[in-house]
Structure 1
Amino acid sequence: MIPMYKIGVVGEKDAAVAFLSLGMTVKGVDTPEEAQRAIDEMAREGYGLIFVTETIAKEIDETIERYKNNFLPAIILIPGVNGSLGIGLQKIKNNVEKAVGVDILSKKEG
């Protein structure tokens, strides 16, 4: 039997509340300390995936990096209420380039 992991969202309250309708656990936070606690708590509780808004993630880079090499939880950065800061996409591009050996996601004129 395949284990079913919970999915959580950590971010500013206005952005995170939209995920409640999808059945995800939502932790609306106001400070970096609240975000760190929420992520650590979800990790201890066995969450498989934690979405974190970019606005919050840029304030807690140390916490995000701590989980980077762990299989679980996977932490994925998503745009906040003010749109994307480009942080999440850059992290994905860096990981793909590391795995493949070349940047295959950039649009290059040829």
Structure 2
Amino acid sequence: MYWDGIEQFSKCDHVVGIKISMLSRIDPKSWDINPIVIEAIHRTIKLFGVQRVAFASNAPVDAHNDDDDDASLSWPASRVLAAFDRITASAYTTTERSWLFADAAKRMYRCS
């Protein structure tokens, strides 16, 4: 049901894109290697296309820091960036990754 709704949402003419973020909420300790999270990333990209998906860290507002008692619960922007880089490295071309990491957000926020 969830993915059916996301698919319908992706087809709406007025939807300029979607931001992928807050993945640590799904699995605070190992979200960046969790197959469910990784599949959700790829599925979202497939539904919306690389030109309508922007990766986001939500840092510093939504980031635990390295001072947490349990370092595995930390998700600073550097960890988010490294995870997105690793997850997309072999699945997408350099041009597609440029859209995911910068160009889509620039377009969505009308920065270019």
TM-score by length of 2: 0.37
- The structure that is helix-richer by fraction is 2
TM-score by length of 1: 0.37
- The structure that is strand-richer by fraction is 1
Higher normalized contact order (CA 8 Å, seq sep 6+, divided by chain length): 2
